[in-house]
Structure 1
């Protein structure tokens, strides 16, 4: 539609005629410029945007939001500005008439812009390197985490049998790093390394990163050893009881 002009049988140099038919005229301009706004949004991307176009008589600025025209502003060379399309009240007949006398030139400037960008991507190479998959690394991560989870469930079961409470935790330091297992009844809720702001090797929110597993899995054996020592201490305490 851009470049075809507005099909309205009104002499825009006749101020009285413009005043009488202004609503009809502005609706037609809004529809026409709205198509330009949608095309600009499609090309530029993003939710919001604006673009200016110069003519011999002035400058036109079009602003859109998600492809919907927000305003169309005309700034003649002599100064001032006229909002041909806006959310405010319509422009006065005389400045509106002056602006619309330059509207065809605005559309021509827009079409020239389209012509300039038409071949913008012609030389862009659309053959890209093959993307290597992380599937093997992720599978190995899952295998290691599954082993950690099985061991933690066994710890949670043992703690539940001994403590008998619905919720509980077991924590230990491994090479000065705090490890904490939290359970709900006999199931592990999480395994966290490094305190309250640490890394969750097990949680309800998904798998840890492969990098975190690489950093902390080698120390998990130390945590298991600390748990076993804890169980041994409990057993020793029970052995001292005399009935």
Structure 2
């Protein structure tokens, strides 16, 4: 009687090698379908399910590459033909590959179902109105506001230092002018989450300029009163008998 330890062990290298080779080819082929779906559907990621007589195939893709290809047979457990994990067992892969051609045919039919879908869509569109005049008028008003605020900044620089902020309330809303030397850094209306009538990043939207521009004279008038009060206070300073 032959000892079992002396029996030959059947090697599975060839089966595993064939399985891995087939799985690689399927990944490459399914990757082509994934890229086509990504281009067609206009997104970096998504998934689509295709039904066959043998079951259903779900292809999930991301960044134009296949994430997984899952076969759900009408009888039996689901099979991940392509996944981020190890390839399926050879028997499972063989079962899935028997239906793979039907999956590709279902995909092709899916693509053909969209033929002519854009044929009746017109590519004639009305002319878009230009905002050039509106922008020019917005910029003219903002430039005028900047000129006034720079003049205020120059006076504040002379009186109150190289940089700082001047704030007041106009029509119940906080207005804040920040200056650096003789220039206005920003004019903000409405607190930290407010609208920047002036800033280093560009002008505000035209509707905001329209909403706030009428209050600029009141802001300047308030500043002038502030200066007048300062002058009056200084006039009262005495160094003794004249």
- With the length of structure 1 as denominator, give the TM-score of the two structures: 0.88
Quote the residue 2:142 is aligned against.
145
Map 1:192-211 → 2, pairs under 5 A? 192-211=188-207
Q: Counterpart in 2 of 1:160? A: 157
Structure 1 window deviating more from structure 2 (140-149 vs 21-30): it is 21-30
> Rg larger in 1 or in 2?
2
2:43 corresponds to:
46
Give CA deviations for 1:134-170 in whole Å, capped at 9, x if unaligned. Answer: 121111111100000010000000011112x222221
Between Structure 1 and Structure 2, how many residues are aligned?
A: 228
User: What does residue 131 of structure 1 align with?
Assistant: 128
Quick one: structure 1 residues 16 and 234, their matched pair in 2 at CA, closer, same or farther if it must change by over 3 Å?
closer
Aligned to 1:221: 217
- Using a 3 Å threshold, how does the CA distance of structure 1 residues 16 and 162 change in structure 2: closer, same or farther? closer
Correspondences of 1:21-100 after superposition (within 5 Å): 21-100=18-97
Q: 1:228 to 1:218 in 2, by over 3 A?
A: same
- CA distance in 2: counterparts of 1:29 and 1:229, whole angstroms: 81
> Which TM-score applies when normalising by structure 2?
0.89
Q: Distance in 1 between matches of 2:108 and 2:171?
A: 69
CA contact (8 A) 1:189 1:202 kept: yes
Are the structure 2 counterparts of residues 123 and 49 from structure 1 closer, same or farther at C-alpha, using a change threshold of 3 Å?
same
Structure 1 unmatched runs, 5+: 1-14
Greater relative contact order (Cα < 8 A, sep 6+):
1
Alpha-carbon RMSD:
1.7
Work out the CA distance in 2 between the residues paired with 1:50 and 1:81: 17
C-alpha distance in 1 between matches for 2:192 and 2:101:
65
